[in-house]
Amino acid sequence: MHSVESILIANRGEIAVRVIRAARDLGLRTIAIYSELDRDAVHTTMADEAWNVGAAPAAESYLNIPRILEVAAESHASAIHPGYGFLAENAEFAQAVIDAGLIWIGPPPSAISMMGDKIESRIAAEAAKVPGVPGTLEPLTSADQVTEFAKKHGLPIAIKASAGGGGRGLKVIRSLDEIDAAFESAGREAKAWFGNPAVYVERYLEHARHIEAQVLFDSHGNGVFYGERDCSLQRRHQKLVEEAPAPGITAKQREKLGKLALALGRAAGYESAGTVEFLFAEGDFYFLEMNTRIQVEHTVTEEVFGVDLVVEQIRVAMGEQLSGTGTPTPVGHTIEFRINAEDPSRDFMPNPGTLVRYREPAGPGIRVDSGVIQGSTISQYYDNMIAKLIVSGRDRDEAVRRARRALTEFDIGGVDTTIGAHLMILNNSAFLRGDVSTRLVEDSMDFSTVARTTAPSLPEDEELSERSITVEVGGRRFTVKYWAKVLTAPGSGARAAPRRKAPKLSKQSASSGGEGAITAPMQGTIVKIHHKAGEHVEEGEAVCVLEAMKMENEIRAPNGGEIIDLKVQVGDTVSAGHILMVIR
């Protein structure tokens, strides 16, 4: 057994809050870390201690391994939980934690390394007789290899980041002339998200379902399959809605899935919680990847099986046996909705900003996991998730009815959100039948009429009110109270733009600021410019690539002409409405 008295959470947002709660349930001291941008974030106020680890960019804070380990030593942490994202699947970080004499709450570094590299994991899956989608087993070195694969296996195909997942660094190719640009873009995104530009290629199965298996292993040889989740509803290859159990999966299919997932975990020498992801098509499961961490959607499994997966992670790290064994049976049905700061009417364009209004729903069967309050800011530097709404019922029909009510109660102002899109999904006949696929949202649903959110000002209060300010002493965060008038919060109060169907974000048309000026559709960073000043471009032609929330968006010219003024260069950070270039 390993003695754990305190846990440092190497993450932010709702997952940091989730881990803090689990640790407190076990009576453990909690230590939060934060970037300079997150000084007043919810997770910093909930933890027993909070320490600054660097500037806003993740590379200087939440990915800063030396500083995180330094804080762990200074705060006398016993263990580190990485949450998901950032360093959660970084084998070097896991090994550094262990080498520092701390307890790593996660799988062994060797398992992270094996499953974290998508090419190595495909090799391991083949050895364990877990079938996968046909693809390459070596990192690609040129776009020509992609072309060769496409000619042999046919289109569509997908280029994927070897070191990542979650749709980051993934590009689907449906014509040969897309290959060069997709290969380059996938490598850039893979480098930005995972620090590794390596990519591989595989067949892209159209109209498949995304089914994942939740497994838990301890160090005593026990492994448990906690059922499956359906994560098919996605946009830009990132999940929107997840549910458990998966509609239409038979008991025989569920048994087969469990055997495949447990076989792969044992082949990797796995410990802790993990998720094995599959594509399900024509009655067969095809291995995609294993996520060696807690998943965003772990909540739906917790609700139908009555298990706290984060607590189980901590107990396994302490050397204890799993609290449950055998083959557990799910009870009821649970659906999770990701509430993101995005505008569904403009192809889910990221919409960072301040939450001037925030009220969560409640009542029977309702759970909300969040890391925000009214006044919190959703920043371009991090993921755009605001909260997760988790709704449970005795069956799927009851869960759907409750979800409609809960989404209607969820009140968020100041940024556009996915709430309207979720309400549309709940009225989609294919979804209600359980007839879903990874293409349903993008191919069969039109969100152009979803109303955008306005940002009204908060009422002014002339009364003196207790306030607080955050200060740092020696790199540690403290809160000091004071009293002052409540000022009116900034808000546009502007009317929403008229509704009209927008182009896909992946091929985003920039708006024109008049006189041929092309403006940025959102806040972000210029990562590529296709043309030089003085060159001629056609209407609809790609002119540059804007990265927002680490997703690349191709900006296209709204009109043809000559670029008479190029106002940006690669690496520039721009705000929404910033003039990028002038075409006449």
**pLDDT tens across 121-154, in order?**
989 999 999 999 888 878 899 999 999 999 999 9
Q: What is the pLDDT of residue 165?
A: 66
12-16, 25-29, 321-325, 398-402, range with the lowest pLDDT = 321-325
275 and 421 inside one domain: yes
CA distance 50 to 46: 9
- In a domain, residue 369? The reply is yes
245 and 394 inside one domain: yes
492 falls in which pLDDT band (50, 70, 90)?
A: very low
Side-chain-side CA neighbours of residue 398 (13 Å): 10
316 and 422 inside one domain: yes
Q: Whose CA is closest to 544, among 560, 559, 566?
A: 566
39 and 89 inside one domain: yes
Region at 219 (left for phi over 0; alpha for psi -120 to 50; beta for the rest): alpha
Provide the H-helix boundaries in 77-157: 91-99, 109-116, 118-127, 143-153
Q: Is 505 a residue whose pLDDT tops 50?
A: no
Q: What is the pLDDT of residue 484?
A: 64
Phi and psi angles of residue 558, each rounded to the nearest 5 degrees, phi first: -80, -15
Q: Could you give the number of structural domains in the chain?
A: 4
End-to-end CA distance of the chain: 71
Which of residues 465 and 397 earns the better pLDDT score?
397
The pLDDT tens digits for 176-216 are 999 999 999 999 888 877 778 889 999 888 889 999 999 99
185 and 266 inside one domain: no
- In a domain, residue 144? The reply is yes
The pLDDT tens digits for 246-296 are 999 999 999 999 999 999 999 999 999 999 999 999 899 999 999 999 999
The pLDDT tens digits for 49-90 are 999 999 999 999 999 999 999 999 999 999 999 999 999 999
166 and 229 inside one domain: no
Q: What is the pLDDT of residue 496?
A: 40
230 and 353 inside one domain: yes
524 falls in which pLDDT band (50, 70, 90)?
A: confident
Q: Is 509 a residue whose pLDDT tops 80?
A: no
pTM metric for this prediction: 0.80
Kindly state the tokens that stand for 263.
């076989």
Q: What is the pLDDT of residue 258?
A: 97
Q: What is the pLDDT of residue 468?
A: 73
Q: Is 495 a residue whose pLDDT tops 50?
A: no
- In a domain, residue 320? The reply is yes
- Average of per-residue pLDDT across 1-6: 88
75 and 178 inside one domain: no
Q: What is the pLDDT of residue 261?
A: 98
CA distance 528 to 543: 9
CA distance 212 to 257: 9
Q: Is 500 a residue whose pLDDT tops 70?
A: no
- In a domain, residue 59? The reply is yes
The pLDDT tens digits for 103-116 are 999 999 999 999 98
Place of tokens 């070097």: 92
**Where among 113, 145, 173 does a domain terminate?**
113
Torsion of CA 310, 315, 316, 320, to 10 degrees: -160
180 and 220 inside one domain: no
Phi and psi angles of residue 134, each rounded to the nearest 5 degrees, phi first: -55, 130
Kindly state the tokens that stand for 570.
């690669």
521 and 412 inside one domain: no
Place of tokens 């934690």: 97
Sheet containing strand 507-509, edge to edge, reads 507-509, 551-556, 542-548, 524-529, 573-574
What range defines the domain where residue 540 resides?
507-583
241 and 381 inside one domain: yes
Q: What is the pLDDT of residue 295?
A: 97
CATH code of 183's domain = 3.30.1490.20
